A and B are shown apart, each in its own frame.
Chain A
Protein backbone atom coordinates (compact mmCIF):
# COMPACT_ATOMS: atom_id res chain seq x y z
CA UNK A 1 0.00 0.00 0.00
CA UNK A 2 2.83 2.38 0.88
CA UNK A 3 4.45 1.61 -2.47
CA UNK A 4 1.28 2.50 -4.33
CA UNK A 5 0.91 5.73 -2.41
CA UNK A 6 4.51 6.71 -3.04
CA UNK A 7 4.12 5.84 -6.70
CA UNK A 8 1.06 8.07 -7.02
CA UNK A 9 2.75 10.91 -5.19
CA UNK A 10 5.66 10.52 -7.56
CA UNK A 11 3.36 10.65 -10.59
CA UNK A 12 1.57 13.76 -9.31
CA UNK A 13 4.90 15.49 -8.66
CA UNK A 14 6.18 14.24 -12.01
CA UNK A 15 3.16 15.68 -13.83
CA UNK A 16 3.80 19.08 -12.28
CA UNK A 17 7.46 18.86 -13.16
CA UNK A 18 6.44 17.95 -16.71
CA UNK A 19 4.16 20.96 -17.10
CA UNK A 20 6.89 23.31 -15.86
CA UNK A 21 9.81 21.69 -17.65
CA UNK A 22 8.01 21.38 -20.97
CA UNK A 23 7.93 25.14 -21.45
CA UNK A 24 11.59 25.28 -20.60
CA UNK A 25 12.36 22.60 -23.18
CA UNK A 26 10.37 24.49 -25.81
CA UNK A 27 12.45 27.60 -25.14
CA UNK A 28 15.69 25.66 -25.09
CA UNK A 29 14.90 23.72 -28.25
CA UNK A 30 14.31 26.93 -30.14
CA UNK A 31 16.72 29.44 -28.66
CA UNK A 32 19.32 27.48 -26.64
CA UNK A 33 18.61 29.59 -23.56
CA UNK A 34 18.49 28.16 -20.05
CA UNK A 35 15.41 30.15 -19.07
CA UNK A 36 15.56 30.26 -15.26
CA UNK A 37 12.98 33.06 -15.08
CA UNK A 38 10.46 30.51 -16.36
CA UNK A 39 9.94 29.63 -12.69
CA UNK A 40 8.84 33.22 -12.01
CA UNK A 41 6.10 32.75 -14.61
CA UNK A 42 5.04 29.62 -12.75
CA UNK A 43 4.70 31.66 -9.54
CA UNK A 44 2.85 34.43 -11.37
CA UNK A 45 0.41 31.79 -12.64
CA UNK A 46 -0.20 30.68 -9.05
CA UNK A 47 -0.93 34.24 -7.92
CA UNK A 48 -3.33 34.93 -10.78
CA UNK A 49 -5.06 31.61 -10.14
CA UNK A 50 -5.71 32.37 -6.48
CA UNK A 51 -6.73 35.98 -7.06
CA UNK A 52 -9.16 35.20 -9.91
CA UNK A 53 -10.66 32.24 -8.06
CA UNK A 54 -11.22 34.39 -4.98
CA UNK A 55 -12.83 37.14 -7.06
CA UNK A 56 -15.04 35.00 -9.31
CA UNK A 57 -15.32 31.66 -7.57
CA UNK A 58 -14.45 29.81 -10.78
CA UNK A 59 -11.29 27.71 -10.94
CA UNK A 60 -11.71 27.08 -14.67
CA UNK A 61 -11.82 30.82 -15.34
CA UNK A 62 -8.77 31.26 -13.12
CA UNK A 63 -6.76 28.70 -15.07
CA UNK A 64 -7.73 30.34 -18.35
CA UNK A 65 -6.88 33.83 -17.10
CA UNK A 66 -3.54 32.65 -15.71
CA UNK A 67 -2.63 30.99 -19.02
CA UNK A 68 -3.43 34.07 -21.10
CA UNK A 69 -1.82 36.68 -18.85
CA UNK A 70 1.28 34.63 -18.12
CA UNK A 71 1.58 33.65 -21.78
CA UNK A 72 1.65 37.31 -22.75
CA UNK A 73 4.15 38.15 -20.01
CA UNK A 74 6.33 35.34 -21.33
CA UNK A 75 6.25 36.80 -24.84
CA UNK A 76 7.11 40.24 -23.45
CA UNK A 77 10.00 38.72 -21.51
CA UNK A 78 11.36 37.19 -24.70
CA UNK A 79 11.00 40.41 -26.62
CA UNK A 80 12.56 42.70 -24.00
CA UNK A 81 15.09 40.46 -22.32
CA UNK A 82 16.19 37.59 -24.51
CA UNK A 83 15.92 38.71 -28.11
CA UNK A 84 18.74 41.25 -27.78
CA UNK A 85 21.00 38.62 -26.18
CA UNK A 86 20.61 35.82 -28.71
CA UNK A 87 23.90 36.58 -30.45
CA UNK A 88 25.85 36.71 -27.17
CA UNK A 89 27.53 33.73 -25.45
CA UNK A 90 24.86 31.54 -23.78
CA UNK A 91 25.84 32.23 -20.18
CA UNK A 92 25.00 35.92 -20.67
CA UNK A 93 21.36 35.06 -21.24
CA UNK A 94 21.55 32.57 -18.36
CA UNK A 95 22.75 35.19 -15.88
CA UNK A 96 20.29 37.77 -17.22
CA UNK A 97 17.59 35.16 -16.69
CA UNK A 98 18.71 34.47 -13.13
CA UNK A 99 18.67 38.23 -12.42
CA UNK A 100 15.16 38.45 -13.86
CA UNK A 101 14.04 35.59 -11.68
CA UNK A 102 15.43 37.13 -8.48
CA UNK A 103 13.89 40.50 -9.37
CA UNK A 104 10.51 38.84 -10.00
CA UNK A 105 10.61 37.02 -6.64
CA UNK A 106 11.27 40.36 -4.96
CA UNK A 107 8.44 42.02 -6.84
CA UNK A 108 6.02 39.30 -5.73
CA UNK A 109 7.13 39.84 -2.15
CA UNK A 110 6.77 43.62 -2.37
CA UNK A 111 3.42 43.58 -4.18
CA UNK A 112 1.62 40.61 -2.58
CA UNK A 113 3.40 40.55 0.78
CA UNK A 114 5.88 38.02 2.16
CA UNK A 115 3.37 35.56 3.65
CA UNK A 116 1.58 34.50 0.52
CA UNK A 117 -2.07 34.15 -0.43
CA UNK A 118 -4.57 31.30 -0.03
CA UNK A 119 -7.91 30.36 -1.56
CA UNK A 120 -10.80 31.76 0.46
CA UNK A 121 -12.97 28.79 -0.42
CA UNK A 122 -10.47 26.18 -1.60
CA UNK A 123 -12.00 24.35 -4.59
CA UNK A 124 -11.83 20.58 -5.08
CA UNK A 125 -11.35 19.61 -1.47
CA UNK A 126 -11.59 16.00 -0.40
CA UNK A 127 -10.86 12.95 -2.46
CA UNK A 128 -12.08 9.53 -3.45
CA UNK A 129 -11.12 5.99 -2.69
CA UNK A 130 -9.52 4.20 -5.64
CA UNK A 131 -9.11 0.88 -3.90
CA UNK A 132 -9.90 0.18 -0.31
CA UNK A 133 -7.77 2.28 2.01
CA UNK A 134 -6.09 4.25 -0.76
CA UNK A 135 -7.33 7.78 -1.37
CA UNK A 136 -6.50 10.20 -4.13
CA UNK A 137 -7.31 13.88 -3.60
CA UNK A 138 -9.50 15.54 -6.23
CA UNK A 139 -6.75 18.12 -6.70
CA UNK A 140 -4.19 15.40 -7.40
CA UNK A 141 -6.53 13.72 -9.84
CA UNK A 142 -6.98 17.05 -11.61
CA UNK A 143 -3.20 17.43 -11.90
CA UNK A 144 -2.84 14.06 -13.59
CA UNK A 145 -5.86 14.51 -15.87
CA UNK A 146 -4.98 18.03 -16.93
CA UNK A 147 -1.36 17.07 -17.64
CA UNK A 148 -2.41 14.15 -19.83
CA UNK A 149 -4.97 16.33 -21.62
CA UNK A 150 -2.62 19.24 -22.27
CA UNK A 151 0.25 17.03 -23.37
CA UNK A 152 -2.01 15.08 -25.75
CA UNK A 153 -3.27 18.28 -27.33
CA UNK A 154 0.29 19.55 -27.70
CA UNK A 155 1.43 16.27 -29.17
CA UNK A 156 -1.40 16.39 -31.68
CA UNK A 157 -0.71 20.01 -32.61
CA UNK A 158 3.00 19.43 -33.15
CA UNK A 159 2.47 16.20 -35.07
CA UNK A 160 -0.57 16.83 -37.22
CA UNK A 161 -1.10 20.53 -37.85
CA UNK A 162 0.51 23.09 -40.11
CA UNK A 163 1.45 25.08 -37.03
CA UNK A 164 3.26 22.09 -35.58
CA UNK A 165 5.15 21.51 -38.78
CA UNK A 166 6.28 25.15 -38.86
CA UNK A 167 7.39 24.87 -35.27
CA UNK A 168 9.41 21.72 -35.82
CA UNK A 169 10.93 23.14 -38.98
CA UNK A 170 12.02 26.26 -37.08
CA UNK A 171 13.61 24.18 -34.35
CA UNK A 172 15.49 21.98 -36.81
CA UNK A 173 16.74 24.68 -39.17
CA UNK A 174 15.49 28.28 -38.84
CA UNK A 175 17.01 29.43 -42.12
CA UNK A 176 15.44 26.60 -44.07
CA UNK A 177 12.10 27.21 -42.36
CA UNK A 178 12.27 30.87 -43.34
CA UNK A 179 13.03 29.88 -46.92
CA UNK A 180 9.84 27.83 -46.92
CA UNK A 181 7.83 30.84 -45.83
CA UNK A 182 7.57 30.13 -42.10
CA UNK A 183 7.44 33.31 -40.06
CA UNK A 184 10.05 32.23 -37.50
CA UNK A 185 9.46 35.33 -35.41
CA UNK A 186 5.84 34.35 -34.90
CA UNK A 187 6.89 30.81 -34.07
CA UNK A 188 9.15 32.17 -31.34
CA UNK A 189 6.38 34.30 -29.86
CA UNK A 190 4.01 31.37 -29.93
CA UNK A 191 6.65 29.16 -28.39
CA UNK A 192 7.06 31.51 -25.45
CA UNK A 193 3.31 31.95 -25.14
CA UNK A 194 2.62 28.22 -24.95
CA UNK A 195 5.58 27.43 -22.72
CA UNK A 196 4.66 30.20 -20.28
CA UNK A 197 0.98 29.25 -20.30
CA UNK A 198 1.93 25.68 -19.32
CA UNK A 199 3.97 27.02 -16.41
CA UNK A 200 0.93 29.06 -15.38
CA UNK A 201 -1.25 25.95 -15.28
CA UNK A 202 1.35 24.23 -13.11
CA UNK A 203 1.38 27.30 -10.85
CA UNK A 204 -2.39 27.25 -10.36
CA UNK A 205 -2.33 23.51 -9.66
CA UNK A 206 0.49 23.71 -7.12
CA UNK A 207 -1.31 26.59 -5.42
CA UNK A 208 -4.37 24.34 -5.27
CA UNK A 209 -2.51 21.34 -3.80
CA UNK A 210 -0.80 23.44 -1.12
CA UNK A 211 -3.60 25.98 -0.80
CA UNK A 212 -0.88 28.60 -0.76
CA UNK A 213 1.08 30.82 -3.13
CA UNK A 214 4.14 32.56 -1.81
CA UNK A 215 6.89 34.65 -3.40
CA UNK A 216 9.48 31.87 -3.11
CA UNK A 217 7.32 29.13 -4.57
CA UNK A 218 9.38 29.22 -7.79
CA UNK A 219 12.79 28.75 -6.17
CA UNK A 220 12.82 24.97 -6.28
CA UNK A 221 11.38 24.71 -9.83
CA UNK A 222 13.89 27.33 -11.01
CA UNK A 223 16.77 24.89 -10.78
CA UNK A 224 14.93 21.56 -10.62
CA UNK A 225 13.35 22.16 -14.02
CA UNK A 226 16.80 22.81 -15.48
CA UNK A 227 17.99 19.49 -14.09
CA UNK A 228 14.98 17.80 -15.67
CA UNK A 229 15.49 19.16 -19.15
CA UNK A 230 19.20 18.33 -19.03
CA UNK A 231 18.40 14.85 -17.77
CA UNK A 232 15.91 14.40 -20.60
CA UNK A 233 18.47 15.54 -23.16
CA UNK A 234 18.11 19.32 -23.70
CA UNK A 235 15.42 20.13 -26.20
CA UNK A 236 13.95 16.64 -26.37
CA UNK A 237 10.26 16.79 -25.46
CA UNK A 238 9.81 13.09 -24.90
CA UNK A 239 13.01 13.07 -22.86
CA UNK A 240 11.65 15.86 -20.69
CA UNK A 241 8.43 13.97 -19.99
CA UNK A 242 10.34 10.81 -19.17
CA UNK A 243 12.80 12.65 -16.93
CA UNK A 244 9.97 14.45 -15.10
CA UNK A 245 8.23 11.20 -14.27
CA UNK A 246 11.41 9.37 -13.28
CA UNK A 247 12.52 12.21 -11.05
CA UNK A 248 9.06 12.56 -9.49
CA UNK A 249 9.03 8.87 -8.59
CA UNK A 250 12.68 8.69 -7.50
CA UNK A 251 12.24 11.67 -5.20
CA UNK A 252 9.06 10.26 -3.73
CA UNK A 253 10.66 6.89 -2.92
CA UNK A 254 14.11 8.29 -2.19
CA UNK A 255 13.04 10.74 0.49
CA UNK A 256 11.47 7.85 2.40
CA UNK A 257 14.24 5.29 2.00
CA UNK A 258 17.50 7.24 1.74
CA UNK A 259 16.32 10.64 3.01
CA UNK A 260 18.63 10.31 6.00
CA UNK A 261 21.64 10.33 3.66
CA UNK A 262 20.62 12.87 1.03
CA UNK A 263 17.88 15.48 0.95
CA UNK A 264 15.40 15.72 -1.93
CA UNK A 265 17.46 18.10 -4.09
CA UNK A 266 20.71 16.24 -3.56
CA UNK A 267 18.92 13.04 -4.55
CA UNK A 268 17.68 14.58 -7.79
CA UNK A 269 21.06 16.02 -8.70
CA UNK A 270 22.93 12.92 -7.62
CA UNK A 271 20.78 10.94 -10.03
CA UNK A 272 21.35 13.57 -12.74
CA UNK A 273 25.13 13.43 -12.40
CA UNK A 274 25.20 9.64 -12.44
CA UNK A 275 23.09 9.57 -15.62
CA UNK A 276 25.24 12.21 -17.32
CA UNK A 277 28.41 10.26 -16.62
CA UNK A 278 27.01 7.36 -18.63
CA UNK A 279 24.98 9.36 -21.13
CA UNK A 280 26.52 12.85 -21.47
CA UNK A 281 23.75 13.78 -23.90
CA UNK A 282 20.94 13.01 -21.43
CA UNK A 283 18.36 10.22 -21.49
CA UNK A 284 16.89 10.82 -24.95
CA UNK A 285 19.26 13.45 -26.29
CA UNK A 286 21.13 13.20 -29.52
CA UNK A 287 24.54 14.64 -30.17
Chain B
Protein backbone atom coordinates (compact mmCIF):
# COMPACT_ATOMS: atom_id res chain seq x y z
CA UNK B 1 0.00 0.00 0.00
CA UNK B 2 2.82 2.40 0.88
CA UNK B 3 4.12 2.29 -2.69
CA UNK B 4 0.71 3.12 -4.13
CA UNK B 5 0.32 6.02 -1.71
CA UNK B 6 3.71 7.43 -2.74
CA UNK B 7 2.81 7.01 -6.39
CA UNK B 8 -0.54 8.73 -6.02
CA UNK B 9 0.96 11.61 -4.02
CA UNK B 10 3.63 12.12 -6.68
CA UNK B 11 0.95 12.16 -9.36
CA UNK B 12 -1.28 14.63 -7.52
CA UNK B 13 1.58 17.08 -6.93
CA UNK B 14 2.60 16.89 -10.58
CA UNK B 15 -0.98 17.41 -11.72
CA UNK B 16 -1.29 20.53 -9.55
CA UNK B 17 2.07 21.85 -10.78
CA UNK B 18 1.26 21.18 -14.45
CA UNK B 19 -2.20 22.76 -14.15
CA UNK B 20 -0.60 25.85 -12.63
CA UNK B 21 1.58 26.26 -15.72
CA UNK B 22 -1.38 25.46 -17.94
CA UNK B 23 -3.15 28.46 -16.42
CA UNK B 24 -0.39 30.79 -17.62
CA UNK B 25 0.72 29.11 -20.83
CA UNK B 26 -2.35 27.17 -21.90
CA UNK B 27 -5.03 29.67 -20.95
CA UNK B 28 -3.37 33.06 -21.26
CA UNK B 29 -0.84 32.06 -23.96
CA UNK B 30 2.23 33.27 -22.07
CA UNK B 31 5.05 30.76 -22.51
CA UNK B 32 7.22 30.05 -19.50
CA UNK B 33 10.48 28.11 -19.51
CA UNK B 34 11.13 28.82 -15.85
CA UNK B 35 8.06 27.69 -13.98
CA UNK B 36 10.03 25.42 -11.62
CA UNK B 37 11.46 28.53 -9.96
CA UNK B 38 8.04 29.29 -8.45
CA UNK B 39 7.64 25.74 -7.23
CA UNK B 40 11.10 26.19 -5.75
CA UNK B 41 10.11 29.38 -3.91
CA UNK B 42 7.12 27.55 -2.41
CA UNK B 43 9.20 24.51 -1.54
CA UNK B 44 12.00 26.47 0.12
CA UNK B 45 9.54 28.66 2.02
CA UNK B 46 7.72 25.58 3.27
CA UNK B 47 10.89 23.68 4.08
CA UNK B 48 12.31 26.55 6.15
CA UNK B 49 9.05 26.95 8.06
CA UNK B 50 8.55 23.24 8.63
CA UNK B 51 12.07 22.97 9.98
CA UNK B 52 10.91 25.54 12.54
CA UNK B 53 8.07 23.14 13.37
CA UNK B 54 5.29 25.21 11.88
CA UNK B 55 2.23 23.21 10.83
CA UNK B 56 1.89 22.22 7.18
CA UNK B 57 -1.61 23.65 6.94
CA UNK B 58 -0.31 27.08 7.87
CA UNK B 59 2.79 26.67 5.73
CA UNK B 60 0.93 26.01 2.46
CA UNK B 61 -0.81 29.40 2.18
CA UNK B 62 2.38 31.25 3.10
CA UNK B 63 4.29 29.35 0.40
CA UNK B 64 1.56 30.25 -2.09
CA UNK B 65 1.76 33.93 -1.17
CA UNK B 66 5.56 34.05 -1.45
CA UNK B 67 5.50 32.39 -4.87
CA UNK B 68 2.61 34.60 -5.97
CA UNK B 69 4.42 37.77 -4.95
CA UNK B 70 7.48 36.73 -6.94
CA UNK B 71 5.12 35.80 -9.75
CA UNK B 72 3.68 39.30 -9.69
CA UNK B 73 7.18 40.79 -9.93
CA UNK B 74 8.16 38.51 -12.78
CA UNK B 75 4.79 39.21 -14.36
CA UNK B 76 5.48 42.95 -14.35
CA UNK B 77 8.87 42.32 -15.94
CA UNK B 78 7.28 40.02 -18.49
CA UNK B 79 4.89 42.72 -19.64
CA UNK B 80 7.86 44.35 -21.35
CA UNK B 81 8.76 41.36 -23.50
CA UNK B 82 6.85 39.10 -25.84
CA UNK B 83 6.95 35.66 -27.45
CA UNK B 84 10.49 34.31 -27.78
CA UNK B 85 11.90 37.14 -25.67
CA UNK B 86 9.42 36.17 -22.94
CA UNK B 87 10.43 32.51 -23.22
CA UNK B 88 14.09 33.33 -22.65
CA UNK B 89 13.35 35.86 -19.90
CA UNK B 90 11.39 33.24 -17.94
CA UNK B 91 14.25 30.82 -18.57
CA UNK B 92 16.54 33.45 -17.04
CA UNK B 93 14.33 33.59 -13.95
CA UNK B 94 14.92 29.92 -13.15
CA UNK B 95 18.70 30.21 -13.59
CA UNK B 96 18.71 33.28 -11.35
CA UNK B 97 16.64 31.44 -8.76
CA UNK B 98 18.96 28.44 -8.69
CA UNK B 99 22.04 30.67 -8.76
CA UNK B 100 20.85 32.73 -5.79
CA UNK B 101 19.66 29.75 -3.73
CA UNK B 102 22.96 27.93 -4.21
CA UNK B 103 24.82 30.74 -2.48
CA UNK B 104 22.53 31.17 0.52
CA UNK B 105 23.68 29.44 3.64
CA UNK B 106 20.35 29.77 5.46
CA UNK B 107 18.76 27.84 2.56
CA UNK B 108 21.32 25.06 2.81
CA UNK B 109 23.39 26.20 -0.19
CA UNK B 110 24.38 23.38 -2.53
CA UNK B 111 23.21 20.72 -0.10
CA UNK B 112 19.68 21.95 0.39
CA UNK B 113 17.39 21.38 3.33
CA UNK B 114 16.76 17.83 4.50
CA UNK B 115 15.20 16.11 7.48
CA UNK B 116 11.82 17.79 7.18
CA UNK B 117 9.37 16.23 9.64
CA UNK B 118 6.30 14.39 8.53
CA UNK B 119 3.09 16.33 9.10
CA UNK B 120 0.40 15.32 11.57
CA UNK B 121 -1.74 14.13 8.66
CA UNK B 122 0.29 10.95 8.15
CA UNK B 123 1.03 9.52 4.72
CA UNK B 124 -2.54 8.71 3.77
CA UNK B 125 -3.90 11.99 5.05
CA UNK B 126 -1.22 13.92 3.17
CA UNK B 127 -2.00 12.01 -0.02
CA UNK B 128 -5.66 12.93 0.35
CA UNK B 129 -4.71 16.59 0.86
CA UNK B 130 -2.65 16.55 -2.36
CA UNK B 131 -5.44 14.91 -4.34
CA UNK B 132 -8.02 17.35 -2.97
CA UNK B 133 -5.88 20.40 -3.76
CA UNK B 134 -5.19 19.16 -7.29
CA UNK B 135 -8.89 18.42 -7.71
CA UNK B 136 -9.94 21.85 -6.46
CA UNK B 137 -7.58 23.63 -8.84
CA UNK B 138 -8.71 21.41 -11.72
CA UNK B 139 -12.31 22.37 -10.92
CA UNK B 140 -11.33 26.04 -10.79
CA UNK B 141 -9.57 25.71 -14.15
CA UNK B 142 -12.64 24.17 -15.74
CA UNK B 143 -14.78 26.96 -14.30
CA UNK B 144 -12.45 29.62 -15.69
CA UNK B 145 -12.58 28.02 -19.11
CA UNK B 146 -16.36 28.36 -19.16
CA UNK B 147 -16.38 31.93 -17.87
CA UNK B 148 -15.77 35.23 -19.63
CA UNK B 149 -12.31 35.15 -18.10
CA UNK B 150 -11.52 32.11 -20.22
CA UNK B 151 -13.01 33.87 -23.23
CA UNK B 152 -10.71 36.87 -22.70
CA UNK B 153 -7.69 34.59 -22.13
CA UNK B 154 -8.42 32.93 -25.48
CA UNK B 155 -8.35 36.28 -27.20
CA UNK B 156 -5.09 37.36 -25.51
CA UNK B 157 -3.45 34.05 -26.39
CA UNK B 158 -4.65 34.57 -29.95
CA UNK B 159 -3.66 38.21 -30.48
CA UNK B 160 -2.78 40.77 -27.81
CA UNK B 161 -3.06 43.80 -30.06
CA UNK B 162 -6.58 42.92 -31.13
CA UNK B 163 -7.56 42.36 -27.51
CA UNK B 164 -6.41 45.90 -26.72
CA UNK B 165 -8.53 47.27 -29.54
CA UNK B 166 -11.52 45.40 -28.11
CA UNK B 167 -11.05 47.35 -24.87
CA UNK B 168 -9.35 44.59 -22.91
CA UNK B 169 -6.73 45.59 -20.36
CA UNK B 170 -4.25 42.92 -21.46
CA UNK B 171 -1.69 43.72 -18.74
CA UNK B 172 -4.21 43.22 -15.94
CA UNK B 173 -5.28 39.84 -17.30
CA UNK B 174 -1.72 38.66 -17.79
CA UNK B 175 -0.79 39.63 -14.25
CA UNK B 176 -3.86 37.82 -12.96
CA UNK B 177 -2.82 34.67 -14.81
CA UNK B 178 0.75 34.99 -13.55
CA UNK B 179 -0.26 35.42 -9.92
CA UNK B 180 -2.77 32.55 -9.92
CA UNK B 181 -0.39 30.25 -11.78
CA UNK B 182 2.69 31.03 -9.70
CA UNK B 183 0.86 30.94 -6.35
CA UNK B 184 -0.47 27.51 -7.29
CA UNK B 185 3.03 26.41 -8.27
CA UNK B 186 4.13 27.61 -4.83
CA UNK B 187 1.43 25.44 -3.27
CA UNK B 188 2.67 22.48 -5.26
CA UNK B 189 6.17 23.33 -4.02
CA UNK B 190 5.08 23.20 -0.38
CA UNK B 191 3.53 19.79 -1.02
CA UNK B 192 6.74 18.69 -2.73
CA UNK B 193 8.83 19.70 0.31
CA UNK B 194 6.57 17.69 2.60
CA UNK B 195 6.41 14.71 0.24
CA UNK B 196 10.16 14.28 -0.31
CA UNK B 197 11.10 15.88 3.04
CA UNK B 198 14.00 17.41 1.19
CA UNK B 199 14.58 20.41 -1.08
CA UNK B 200 17.74 21.26 -3.01
CA UNK B 201 18.71 23.73 -5.72
CA UNK B 202 18.81 21.00 -8.38
CA UNK B 203 15.17 20.05 -7.80
CA UNK B 204 13.83 23.28 -9.30
CA UNK B 205 16.02 24.08 -12.28
CA UNK B 206 15.71 24.47 -16.01
CA UNK B 207 15.25 20.74 -16.62
CA UNK B 208 12.28 20.61 -14.22
CA UNK B 209 10.80 23.68 -15.93
CA UNK B 210 11.02 21.92 -19.28
CA UNK B 211 9.55 18.72 -17.86
CA UNK B 212 6.46 20.49 -16.61
CA UNK B 213 6.09 22.33 -19.92
CA UNK B 214 6.35 18.95 -21.63
CA UNK B 215 3.46 17.69 -19.48
CA UNK B 216 1.32 20.63 -20.53
CA UNK B 217 2.16 20.29 -24.20
CA UNK B 218 1.82 16.51 -24.31
CA UNK B 219 -1.55 16.75 -22.61
CA UNK B 220 -2.69 19.38 -25.06
CA UNK B 221 -2.00 22.98 -24.29
CA UNK B 222 -5.01 24.56 -22.57
CA UNK B 223 -6.88 21.28 -22.12
CA UNK B 224 -7.50 20.66 -18.41
CA UNK B 225 -8.25 16.95 -18.75
CA UNK B 226 -5.39 16.37 -21.18
CA UNK B 227 -2.88 18.13 -18.94
CA UNK B 228 -4.08 16.23 -15.86
CA UNK B 229 -3.73 12.92 -17.64
CA UNK B 230 -0.32 13.73 -19.12
CA UNK B 231 1.02 15.02 -15.78
CA UNK B 232 -0.22 11.93 -13.95
CA UNK B 233 1.33 9.55 -16.47
CA UNK B 234 4.57 11.41 -17.19
CA UNK B 235 5.33 11.97 -13.49
CA UNK B 236 5.46 8.24 -12.87
CA UNK B 237 6.57 7.17 -16.36
CA UNK B 238 10.26 6.94 -15.37
CA UNK B 239 9.16 4.46 -12.69
CA UNK B 240 6.93 2.57 -15.09
CA UNK B 241 9.54 2.13 -17.80
CA UNK B 242 12.24 0.82 -15.44
CA UNK B 243 12.52 -2.23 -17.72
CA UNK B 244 14.30 -0.15 -20.36
CA UNK B 245 16.52 1.18 -17.58
CA UNK B 246 19.52 2.50 -19.49
CA UNK B 247 17.36 3.85 -22.31
CA UNK B 248 14.61 5.44 -20.28
CA UNK B 249 15.53 9.07 -20.94
CA UNK B 250 15.98 8.24 -24.61
CA UNK B 251 12.51 6.70 -24.72
CA UNK B 252 11.07 9.68 -22.87
CA UNK B 253 12.59 12.23 -25.23
CA UNK B 254 11.65 10.18 -28.30
CA UNK B 255 8.04 10.10 -27.10
CA UNK B 256 8.07 13.85 -26.54
CA UNK B 257 9.54 14.50 -29.96
CA UNK B 258 7.07 12.19 -31.71
CA UNK B 259 4.21 13.92 -29.96
CA UNK B 260 5.34 17.33 -31.22
CA UNK B 261 6.07 16.01 -34.68
CA UNK B 262 2.85 14.07 -35.23
CA UNK B 263 0.31 15.58 -32.84
CA UNK B 264 1.32 19.06 -31.76
CA UNK B 265 -2.03 19.59 -30.04
CA UNK B 266 -1.21 16.77 -27.68
CA UNK B 267 -3.29 13.92 -26.33
CA UNK B 268 -6.33 16.19 -26.20
CA UNK B 269 -5.91 16.70 -29.96
CA UNK B 270 -5.73 12.97 -30.60
CA UNK B 271 -8.86 12.33 -28.53
CA UNK B 272 -10.66 15.16 -30.30
CA UNK B 273 -9.83 13.73 -33.73
CA UNK B 274 -10.93 10.24 -32.68
CA UNK B 275 -14.22 11.62 -31.36
CA UNK B 276 -14.81 13.52 -34.59
CA UNK B 277 -14.19 10.35 -36.58
CA UNK B 278 -16.67 8.37 -34.48
CA UNK B 279 -19.27 11.14 -34.76
CA UNK B 280 -18.92 11.47 -38.50
CA UNK B 281 -19.48 7.80 -39.03
Q: Which of B14-22, B78-86, B115-123, B162-170 contacts A (4 or more CB under 8 A)?
A: B78-86
Q: Number of B interface residues, CB 8 Å?
A: 38
Complex contacts, A263 vs chain B, CB 8 Å: 98-99, 102-103
Select which of B82, B85, B100 is within 8 A of A266 by beta carbon.
B100
Min Cβ gap A15→B in Å is 22
Pair A34/B250 contact, Cβ less than 8 Å: no
A273 to B86, CA, bound (A): 10
Pair B85/A282 contact, Cβ less than 8 Å: yes
Pair B92/A270 contact, Cβ less than 8 Å: yes
* A92-B260 CB under 8 A given contacts A273-B92, A273-B96: yes
Pair B260/A269 contact, Cβ less than 8 Å: no
* A103-B250 CB under 8 A given contacts A92-B264, A95-B260: yes
* A227-B210 CB under 8 A given contacts A85-B260, A85-B261, A110-B246: no
Select which of B88, B98, B249 is within 8 A of A226 by beta carbon.
B88
Select which of A81, A88, A227, A270 is within 8 A of B88 by beta carbon.
A227
Pair A94/B249 contact, Cβ less than 8 Å: no
- B165-183 contacts to A (CB < 8 Å): none
Whether B57 is near chain A, meaning CB under 8 Å from some CB there, is no
Pair A265/B260 contact, Cβ less than 8 Å: no
Chain B, residue nearest A231 (CB) = B88
Pair A91/B261 contact, Cβ less than 8 Å: no
Select which of B96, B98, B214, B250 is within 8 A of A95 by beta carbon.
B214
Pair A95/B217 contact, Cβ less than 8 Å: yes
Pair B103/A262 contact, Cβ less than 8 Å: yes
Pair A96/B91 contact, Cβ less than 8 Å: no
Select which of A28, A88, A260 is within 8 A of B103 by beta carbon.
A260
Whether A64 is near chain B, meaning CB under 8 Å from some CB there, is no
Min Cβ gap A185→B in Å is 20
Pair A102/B253 contact, Cβ less than 8 Å: yes
Complex contacts, A107 vs chain B, CB 8 Å: 250
CB-defined interface of B246-265 with A at 8 Å, one 1/0 digit per residue? Answer: 11011011101100110010
Min Cβ gap B182→A in Å is 16
Complex contacts, B114 vs chain A, CB 8 Å: none
Complex contacts, B31 vs chain A, CB 8 Å: 91
Min Cβ gap A64→B in Å is 30
Whether B131 is near chain A, meaning CB under 8 Å from some CB there, is no
Chain B, residue nearest A37 (CB) = B257
Complex contacts, A81 vs chain B, CB 8 Å: 257, 261
- A-B pairs, top 10 by smallest CB distance, nearest first, are A266-B99, A269-B92, A96-B260, A99-B257, A99-B256, A102-B253, A103-B253, A106-B250, A230-B88, A269-B95
Supplied contacts A34-B87, A99-B256, A226-B88, 14 more A-B pairs, CB within 8 Å = A28-B84, A32-B84, A91-B87, A95-B213, A95-B260, A96-B261, A98-B214, A102-B253, A234-B85, A262-B99, A263-B98, A269-B99, A270-B99, A273-B96
Residues of A within 8 A of B (CB): 28, 32, 34, 81, 84-85, 88-96, 98-100, 102-103, 106-107, 110, 223, 226-227, 230, 234, 260-263, 265-270, 272-273, 276-277, 280-282
